[in-house]
Amino acid sequence: MKLLFNKNPKEICMKRVALVTGGIGGIGTAICKKLADAGHTVVTCDINAERADSWVADMKAQGYDFKVYICDVTNFDQCAEMAAKITAEVGPVDILVNNAGITRDAVFKKLSKVDWDLVLGTNLDSVYNITKQFCEGMTERGWGRVINMSSVNGQKGQFGQTNYSAAKAGMHGFTKALAQEVAKKGVTVNTISPGYIGTEMVMAIKEEVRNQIISTIPVGRLGTPEEIAELVAYLASNSGSFITGSNIAINGGLHMF
C-alpha cells in the first residue's frame, strides 16, 4: 500500500479504503471529505441513484472523486453484493463508518409499526448488515476501524423519538460487545454521539426554534459537520488505536454524564 504523509511530517499514515454509509448529506459528506483529505480512498452508498449522480458531480466540482454504490442498507443480500463489488473494484475495506440513518418522529401513541421498522432497519439493522461484510476481513488483515454514528438522543432519549432513540442506543451495546471480540485482532470499534449539528436540515428550522435549541447548549452554538468529521478521522487513524468500545459524546455540553 502507498504511504502518505500527513500535515505533520513525523506522522505517517497508510492509504486505506474507507466506506461511509449515508455519505450523501451534511455529516456524511464532511466525513467523506475528511477521510479523503487524510489520504484514504473513500466510497459511499445510497439507495437513490439520481441523488447519487448529482452528489458525485458536485463533489467532483470540489475536487473529490468519490464512487457511490447503490444499496438498500436494510437489505442484507444487497449489502453482501455491494461489499463484493467494492472489494473487487476498489479493494478491501479497512475503515467502516456506519452513518446511514433516518427519522420518522411521532409520539409513541401515534407511532406506526411501519415507521418503527423503517427506523430500526435503517439505523440499527444496517449496522449489522454492513459490518458483517467487512469485519472478518479486518481481523484477518490485523487492522480495522468500525465507527458507528449514534446520537445524543440515543443517550438521553427524546420526546417523540422512541424508534430513533432505541436504534441509536442499540449501537452502544453493539459497539461494546463487538469491540471485545476483535480487539486482539487490531480492530477498534467505537461510537460517536453528536448533538445538534448545523446541517442543512437543522438550518432549515425556523430561526426562533433553532435559537431555542441553541439556548439549551452550554457552549452556545450548534456543532459543525467538520467537527464530527475530525473526530471520525482521528478514530480512523493509527493515533486512535488505543480507543475501543467507547462512545464519544460531541454535543457542546448538551448532555453530560
For the stretch 129-179, pLDDT in tens is 999 999 999 999 999 999 999 999 999 999 999 999 999 999 999 999 999
Q: Which class for 158: exposed (0-12), middle (13-18), buried (19 or more C-beta within 10 A)?
A: middle
Residue 213, domain member (yes or no): yes
For the annotated catalytic residues, the residue numbers are 164
Q: What is the pLDDT of residue 203?
A: 87
Residue 4, domain member (yes or no): no
Q: Nearest 5 degrees, angle CA 228-CA 234-CA 235?
A: 90
pLDDT band, residue 1 (cuts 50/70/90):
very low
pLDDT higher than threshold 50 for residue 4: no
Q: Find the helix or strand (DSSP H, E) in which 46 lies.
A: strand 41-46
Of the candidates 240, 224, 179, 210, the one whose C-alpha atom is nearest the C-alpha of residue 27 is: 224
Residue 16, domain member (yes or no): yes
Mean pLDDT, rounded, of the chain: 94
Q: How far apart are CA 111 and CA 87, in angstroms?
A: 39
Q: How far apart are CA 67 and CA 19, in angstroms?
A: 10
Q: Which residue has the cell 452528489?
A: 55
Of the candidates 205, 103, 217, the one whose C-alpha atom is nearest the C-alpha of residue 160 is: 103
CATH number at residue 221: 3.40.50.720
Residue 48, domain member (yes or no): yes
- What is the pTM assigned to this prediction? 0.93
Contact 171, 236 (CB under 8 A): no
pLDDT band, residue 9 (cuts 50/70/90):
very low
Phi, psi of 9 (to 5 degrees): -65, -15
pLDDT higher than threshold 50 for residue 8: no
Of the candidates 192, 171, 172, 170, the one whose C-alpha atom is nearest the C-alpha of residue 28 is: 192
Residue 210, domain member (yes or no): yes
Q: 37 CB contacts (<8 Å, ≥6 apart)? A: 233
Find residue 197's DSSP bridge partners: 223
105-109: which pairs have CB atoms within 8 A and are 24 or more residues apart? 105/160, 105/161, 105/164, 106/160, 107/159, 107/160, 108/162
Range of the domain at 156: 11-249
Residue 227, domain member (yes or no): yes
Residue 3, domain member (yes or no): no
Q: How many domains does the chain have?
A: 1
For the stretch 10-19, pLDDT in tens is 344 589 999 9
Residue 57, domain member (yes or no): yes
